[in-house]
Structures are given as structure tokens and as C-alpha cells.
Structure 1
Amino acid sequence: MRALRFDSFGEPDVLHVTEVPSPVASNGEAVIAVKAASVNPSDLKNVAGAIEGTILPRVPGRDFAGTVLDGPPGWMGEEVWGTGGDLGFTRDGAHAELLAVPVDALVRKPESLSFEEASAVGVNFVTGWLGAVETAELDKGETIAVFGVSGGVGGAVAQIARARGAQVIGLDQVKPADNTPAASIIQEFIPSGGSPQEIGTEIKRLTGGRGVDVVYDAVGGITTASALASLAHGGRLVVISAVGTRTVEIDLIDLYRNETRILGCNSLRLDVVESGKRLAQLAPYFESGQFRPLPIARRYSLEEGRDAYLAVAHRTRGRVVICP
């Protein structure tokens, strides 16, 4: 089969299309014919060597959608989708014609989504669900501020929060585009370029002086001070990233007096099987139309894989998809 692969870490130009042995369905694994596979910022970081644990040479790609080519009789020909913190890191990923995954990782794709749309869901919504629901335990009637609401994870969190019955305030450098799900969900939007004091003051104003119950910070680092300034008493801060700096100063007296909880959320710890369990929980929301992925912005063939990665590096708004 043809696959996009990297033998050393570096810029996207280390990626090359090559012929590799086709995977086989054995030892509890199934083979999927990949119809579409999105490119995530974490895929780009992986190729650059910024994520520990990757074993070279490697086929990258966490998110996918396709049909089962070989495996248990009950799964043959079924349309499936998936993602995983091991795909592209410790086992070959989805940027290839074929992909092998454990049978336990197979999850039927929602019929309401095309292959391209389904391939753009995994990382964003699994990370959003893990942080907002499983980690922060966001509840009905609470208010959440989503830093990075215009991005893939931020937009997913906004939809998940609304489904949980929460009020949503969005923050980002630019407002969500009109054709994105988050644009119609957030009650208020705040540009994230202000000082921590300005942002905290504005959020307190919007919440009657109280602050928000949860901040989901999909940016991190440069936004941490603003996130902390926005929390109500006993509020929870969920951190999934660090942009600009990985070290921040925290006033410990303010922290303990406010009884603030800071919670880390790492979706890479969920392999393709564990991620599949979350996608199975998310599927009904997509079937009903309550959840929608970000629009597909660009499509590339496998031979254009480097260009797909460069599009993500250049911060293309919307999702970038490789169609093998």
C-alpha cells in the first residue's frame, strides 16, 4: 500500500509517500480502507519531534474514517470512524491507504456524516469530551468560558457544553466564522487580546460579578493568567495545551482563597480503543444533528500530504483532510 511516512523528525518536508507492506487482519485486528483522514496540530507536532514516545519510522495520522476491508464477518464492509493517542505515535496511523486497528476499536460511523466530516471529529471532540465532561464534570446550569473557541477543540467544547445545559462564553483572537457551529452557540464573545485584568473584569460583568464555573483553556500558557482571573469561587480550570510559554506564575494565596482547581487533560493517553468508546458516546449527538464538526477547508491526496501539513502549520481556518 501507499503511505505517508517520516523516518526522522523535522519540518513537513521530511514526509514522503512510499510503498509499505499492507497490514493484515490477525491477532484480533481489523484492516480499514481509509477514505479520509484529517490532519491535526498534534500530527504536525509529532512529525516535528515535539511529542515524546514516537517510534520511527512512522506513518502519522490520528483521525480517520473508512470501511472495514478485513476482519470479523459482522464488520466486513461497515463504515467506521476513529482516533487514538497511539495512532501515528507508537503504531502506524491513518495517513495511508490502509490502517490496522484492534477489533475492539471499531465504531460505526454516523450515517449523517460523510467520510470527510467523520474524519474531522476524533481529536477535537474526544479531547473536548474528556476535558469538559469527564475531567471538569461540567453540569447543567453552569457557565463555561472557552479559550480558543474558534479552533477545533474549542468549537467542540462549546457544542458539548450546550448539550450539557451550560451557558457558553467564547474567547479567541478572532470570532468564530459564521459557518461554524460555535458561532450560533456562544452567548457572548470576548476578544482574547486584552490583559488578564480586563478579561477577568469583563467575564465577571457578564456573570453578575461571579465569574465562570469552568474555564476550558484550549490555548494555555499565554492565556493562563486570564483564565484564572475569570473563575468563580471554587471554579475549575482545564488545561490541554501551552502556547508561547510552558511556565506561568500563579498567586498561591489567590488560588487557595478562591479554592480554584487546575485540571490537566491529555487525550494522548487514550489509545484507539479507549477513544473509540468516547466516539460511541458522541455518535448519537452527530446522528441527531446536535453536534457538527468544523467545515472542511481543504482536501489533499496522499501525494499532496506535505501540503496538507503545511496548511495546518499556516493555521488554515477549518479542517484539513487527506483522502487516500
Structure 2
Amino acid sequence: MRAVQQSEWGGPEVLEVADVPVPKPAPTEVLVKVATAGVNPVDVYTRMGVAYNRVLSLPFVHGWDVAGVVAGVGYGVTRFKEGDRVFGMPWFPREAGAYAEYVTAPSRHLARMPEGMSFIEAAALPLAGLTAWQMAVDVAGVGPGQRVLVGAAAGGVGHLAVQVAKARGAQVIGTASAAKHDFVRRMGADEVVDYTAVDVTKAVRDVDVAIQMFGGDTGLQTLECLRPGGLMVSGQGAWTPGMTERAGELGVRALAYLVEPDAAGLESLARLYREGRLAVHVEREFALEEAAAAHDLVAKGRTTGKVVLRVGDPEGGRSYR
């Protein structure tokens, strides 16, 4: 099968389309014929050798976000049968090999795609959607009446976090450049702040929860937006030195977070999609052979929503819906 593999750390040029064996599902696993694979910032950092190298070794097949059709089931699997349309983020942060024509994964790392969802949307949702869901719901417990600040609200995680927090009954404030304000409002934000034009710490005060995907000084400054006892959940805690100490000085809380495979979370996101309360925005699609160009785009950090690779056609000539 075709797969995007790398044998050394480096820039987009290290990504190569290789011919590798089709994997076989072990007990409790399913074999998925891949239609589409999502591309995330963590893919770029991993390729460069600056993230999760302790659990990835060269060579490896890239990618975690995947959507496709079950092509086989291992012993003991009861959740799925051949022909089921599924999506998920298996194995993260270990190698999943989603940039490939076939993937094997534990059945409980996947969920059924909701009716009406395209493969393009489905591949864009798992990692970013689970990040948004787990940060807002599982970690922060966002609920009705709370004020929630979402940083980078037009991005892959951000545009989904806005919708998840809104679906939970929160008042949502997003940060984005002026050109993306209309998009963030369409996602459900009650207020949008242009972080390029104003000091967010002065424009936004006394929020209950901050969902932050930036580290460094931006992460530390976000703590100043919280009410006393408020909580910042940081997806970049490892790159925000002094975060916990600064939170203590301000009388707020800060937690570092990393997404995990989670079938229940995927099913919750699917339910919101079915109910019309969650939209997945995909800015650009690339062919599998264009993975390097997809990485280039994501690395610029200006994407609205997500980027997806078209891998195969698992339904015999039908569209990516």
C-alpha cells in the first residue's frame, strides 16, 4: 500500500511516499481502508523532531487523524463490522500511520461517522475535536453561564472549542485577527477580540475558563484574563515555563493537557454534528502525494479550520461524502 513515511527528522522534504505492507488487525483491532487523513500542527512538530520523539522512532508512517471504512475485524471486536464508516485518532501519541491506504487500530479508538458527515469532515475532526472536547468538558467542566475565552478561535482546535463551549451553554469570547472575526462569530462566539490590535489581557477580564493553544508569553499572559480561582487549560503547557508558578501568584489555576484517544468523546462530537450544533471547517484538501505541501501550509500557522489529505476511495467510485 502507499504510505507517507519519513526516515530522518527534518523539513517537508523528508516526507516520502513509500510502498509498505498492509497491516493486519490483531485481536480487538479493526482494519480501516482509509479515505482521508487529517493534518495537524503536531504532525509538523513531530516531523521536525521536536515533539513526542520518546515514543516515535524512525522510520515511521505519519498521521493520526483518520476516516474510512472498516475492511476487516480482529478477534473479539463487537463494536464494528466490515463496511462501517468510522473515524478516529488511534494510538496518539504513538505511531498510528494515518497517512496510508490502510490503518489498524483498537476498536475503542474509533467511532461511527454520523449520518451526513463527509470523509473530509470526518478526518478533520478527531484530534482537534477531541482536544476541544476534553479541554472544555472533561478537564474544565464548562457549563451554562460560564465565560470562556478561546485563544486562536479560528484555528483547528479553536473553531471547534468555540462550538463545544457554546453547546454547553457558555458565553464564548474568541481571539482572532480581524479578517477572521466573521468566521469566529459564525462558529458561535459572542465576542471576538483582535489580538493583533489590542492587549487581550486588558480587553478580556474575569473569565471562568481559558482554552489556550499558544505557549510562551501568550500562555502566561492569558492567566491574567481569569477571575480569581479561574482555570486555564493549556495545550502548550510544556512550552510555557513558569505557568504553574505564575498561576499561583495570580490566584488562578493552570493545567497542562495533551489529547488522548477517546471513543466516548468522538461519539459526543458526532452527536453534536447530528444535532446541527457542530460544523467542521476544512480550508484545504491535498492528495496523499502532496503531504509535504500540506505540512508547509499548516506550519505557517494561519490556517482557518483544518487541512486534510485525500488518501483513497473506499466505496468503489463514490464521492468523499
Fold agreement, TM-score > 0.5:
yes
1:301 deviation in Å?
Answer: 1.6
Q: Distance in 2 between matches of 1:19 and 1:182?
A: 44
Relative to 1, partners in 2 of residues 1:226 and 1:58: Cα closer, same or farther, differing over 3 Å?
A: same
1:138 deviation in Å?
Answer: 1.4
1:41 deviation in Å?
Answer: 0.5
Aligned runs of 1:114-263 on 2, under 5 Å? 114-176=118-180, 178=182, 180=183, 182-193=185-196, 198-204=199-205, 211-241=206-236, 246-248=240-242, 255-256=248-249, 259-263=251-255
User: Could you state the TM-score of these two structures normalised by the residue count of structure 1?
Assistant: 0.86
Of 76, 79, 100, the match for 2:82 = 76
Q: Distance in 2 between matches of 1:75 and 1:136?
A: 35
Q: Distance in 2 between matches of 1:62 and 1:125?
A: 13
Q: Distance in 1 between matches of 2:10 and 2:64?
A: 18
User: Could you state the TM-score of these two structures normalised by the residue count of structure 2?
Assistant: 0.87
Q: Distance in 1 between matches of 2:65 and 2:171?
A: 29
1:200 deviation in Å?
Answer: 2.6
The runs of at least 4 aligned residues of structure 1 exceeding 4 Å deviation read 248-252
Corresponding residue of 2:32: 32
Instruction: Assess if the C-alpha contact under 8 Å between 1:221 and 1:246 holds in 2.
Output: yes
Q: Distance in 2 between matches of 1:279 and 1:43?
A: 20
Corresponding residue of 1:57: 59
1:134 deviation in Å?
Answer: 1.1
Q: Distance in 2 between matches of 1:156 and 1:17?
A: 31
Instruction: Assess if the C-alpha contact under 8 Å between 1:155 and 1:182 holds in 2.
Output: no
Instruction: Select between 309-318 and 26-35 the one with higher mean Cα deviation.
Output: 309-318
Q: Distance in 2 between matches of 1:237 and 1:83?
A: 24
Cα distance per residue 1:119-146 (max 9 Å; x no partner): 1001111001111111111121110111
Cα distance per residue 1:235-260 (max 9 Å; x no partner): 111111269x64357875x845x531
Residue type of the partner of 2:285? R
Cα distance per residue 1:261-286 (max 9 Å; x no partner): 1111111xx2xxx4223101221101
SS in 2 for 1:160: helix
Corresponding residue of 1:264: 256
Size of the aligned set, in residue pairs, is 304
Gaps of 5+ in 1: 205-210
Instruction: Select between 65-74 and 164-173 the one with higher mean Cα deviation.
Output: 65-74
Cα distance per residue 1:93-141 (max 9 Å; x no partner): 2100001111333311011210001110011110011111111111211
Q: Distance in 1 between matches of 2:212 and 2:307?
A: 23
Instruction: Assess if the C-alpha contact under 8 Å between 1:3 and 1:95 holds in 2.
Output: yes
SS in 2 for 1:107: strand
SS in 1 for 2:308: strand
Q: Distance in 2 between matches of 1:228 and 1:91?
A: 34
Instruction: Select between 118-127 and 168-177 the one with higher mean Cα deviation.
Output: 168-177
Q: Distance in 2 between matches of 1:221 and 1:311?
A: 22
Q: Distance in 2 between matches of 1:29 and 1:249?
A: 39
1:176 deviation in Å?
Answer: 2.9
SS in 1 for 2:204: helix
SS in 2 for 1:66: strand
Instruction: Assess if the C-alpha contact under 8 Å between 1:149 and 1:182 holds in 2.
Output: no
Relative to 1, partners in 2 of residues 1:251 and 1:43: Cα closer, same or farther, differing over 3 Å?
A: closer
Identical-residue share of aligned pairs (%): 31
1:184 deviation in Å?
Answer: 4.4
Corresponding residue of 1:208: none
Corresponding residue of 1:303: 289
Instruction: Assess if the C-alpha contact under 8 Å between 1:158 and 1:182 holds in 2.
Output: no
Q: Distance in 2 between matches of 1:92 and 1:266?
A: 16
Residue type of the partner of 1:237? M
Relative to 1, partners in 2 of residues 1:26 and 1:214: Cα closer, same or farther, differing over 3 Å?
A: closer
Gaps of 5+ in 2: 312-321
Residue type of the partner of 2:59? P
Instruction: Assess if the C-alpha contact under 8 Å between 2:151 and 2:158 holds in 1.
Output: yes
Instruction: Assess if the C-alpha contact under 8 Å between 1:63 and 1:82 holds in 2.
Output: yes
1:35 deviation in Å?
Answer: 0.5
Corresponding residue of 2:318: none
Instruction: Select between 284-293 and 72-81 the one with higher mean Cα deviation.
Output: 72-81
Corresponding residue of 1:321: 308
